[in-house]
Amino acid sequence: MSKNKYLVPFILITTLFFLWAFLHNINGILIPHLKKVCQLNDTQSSLIDFAVYFGYFVIAIPAGLFCHRFGYKKGILCGLFLFAVGALLFLPAASDRNFILFLIALFVAASGATFLETVANPYATILGPPESSERRLNFAQSFNGLGAFVAPLIGTRFILSGIEHSQAELDAMQARGELTNYLQQEANSLKLPYLIIAAVLILVAVIFIFTKLPEVTESQAGGHGSKFSFKVFRISHVRWAVIAEFFYVGSQVGVLSFFIRFARFTANIPEKEAGYLLTYVAMVGFMAGRFLGTFFMRYVRPARLLSLYFGDVHYRRGLHPYHDGYHFR
């Protein structure tokens, strides 16, 4: 019994990795779709990504402080609530075809996802033996890859209509008084998916409410009762990790979010076909890399495995777990 006491909590925590993957990986569908629905240009549609990641930038540290004071479980429930509210805001936004309200909805949803990520990543490491914490975290994160595959698949299937008109055709529809009805039909395709997402989030929140989660001590969480301090950036690994994450996320988001638009612009690939290419090629590779990484960690040291993913350059230059005297298990 003691051996399996972490099983149910770990399964629940793992679902969070799957859920917030929707927020990020549905943007590649939302950008071309809302460009059509709200009659935006490409620059304006990029604000979809901005709203999501600005939410992370603003809320990340407050979310950490909240969880530090009120506990991990309350942080999870707060995140699920905010995420669900953001999803529900898509309904009035779609009804009014209001782009500002769409951006607010995405910001609120991203705020909730920030809480979930702030809690789930460290929590996954303590739900089991310390010696397997890295593999456990990577395994949980692999389900983020599964969510990254499912999100564009659902978006392509249920949100993108595949109906794309030229500007001349849109002008003709407007002259006949048909444009508003067409755009509203396109907007309405967002309602059911986001209503279902909100319902799933609320259901998961209810399950968390009635599930007893293990308490987290300061020593398990790696802290000593202190709050966040910018002094943490004195650690070289932290500084370089932040820089690396900044460029990595920027390149990943830039490529995936505008893949459908780029495919249309460069190769005249229809939106649905491009959406399925994004799903079955890029996201399958992303998901496979996640799960394979977890498997290889059983046989390869995490630092060595990471260096292999980056061509071994950093490892050869000495950036390994004991660099600068800072220990990473």
Which pLDDT tens digit goes with each residue over 130-166?
A: 777 777 888 888 888 888 899 999 999 999 999 999 8
Mean per-residue pLDDT, 265-288: 90
Q: How far apart are CA 158 and CA 281, in angstroms?
A: 19
Q: pLDDT tens digit string along 215-243? A: 665 455 554 445 567 778 888 888 888 88
Say what the pLDDT of residue 328 is.
Answer: 36
Predicted confidence (pLDDT) at residue 15 exceeds the cutoff of 80? yes
CB 152 within 8 A of CB 283: yes
Using only C-alpha atoms, the chain has a radius of gyration, in whole angstroms, of: 21
Name the token pair of 186: 């396109």
pLDDT band (50, 70, 90) for residue 278: very high
pTM over 0.75: yes
Mean pLDDT over each residue of the chain, to the nearest integer: 85
* Region class of 309: left (phi > 0), else alpha (psi between -120 and 50), else beta: alpha
Buried b (16+ CB within 10 A) or exposed e, 234-254: eeeeeeeeeeeeeeeeeeebe
Mean per-residue pLDDT, 87-113: 97
Give 45 or 252, the one with higher predicted confidence.
45
Q: How far apart are CA 59 and CA 17, in angstroms?
A: 18
Mean per-residue pLDDT, 40-61: 94
Q: How far apart are CA 98 and CA 39, in angstroms?
A: 11
pLDDT band (50, 70, 90) for residue 294: confident
Q: What is the dihedral of CA 39, 43, 46, 51, to 10 degrees?
A: -90
Q: What is the 3-state composition of the chain as percent helix, strand, coil, each rounded to the nearest 5?
A: 80, 0, 20
Say what the pLDDT of residue 317 is.
Answer: 44
Mean per-residue pLDDT, 61-65: 90
Q: Which residues, including other chains, have CB under 8 Å from residue 123's CB and lie 6 or more apart?
A: 13, 72, 216
Say what the pLDDT of residue 164 is.
Answer: 92
Cα–Cα distances in angstroms (integers) from residue 6 to residues 112, 130, 240, in the given order: 24, 13, 33
CB 13 within 8 A of CB 127: yes
Say what the pLDDT of residue 311 is.
Answer: 59
Percent of the chain with pLDDT over 70: 88
Say what the pLDDT of residue 67 is.
Answer: 86
How far is CA 60 from its chain centroid? Answer: 13
Q: pLDDT tens digit string along 166-202? A: 889 999 999 999 999 999 999 999 999 999 999 999 9
Say what the pLDDT of residue 299 is.
Answer: 81
Highest mean pLDDT among 52-56, 90-94, 235-239, 318-322: 90-94
Say what the pLDDT of residue 313 is.
Answer: 45
Q: pLDDT tens digit string along 304-313? A: 777 777 654 4
The per-type count for the chain, helices as H runs and strands as E runs, is: 18, 0
Say what the pLDDT of residue 221 is.
Answer: 53
Name the token pair of 171: 């002008």
Q: pLDDT tens digit string along 69-97? A: 888 899 999 999 999 999 999 999 999 99
pLDDT band (50, 70, 90) for residue 287: confident
CB 293 within 8 A of CB 64: no
Choose among 119, 117, 105: nearest CA to 52.
Answer: 105
Q: How far apart are CA 326 and CA 232, in angstroms?
A: 12
CB 270 within 8 A of CB 164: yes
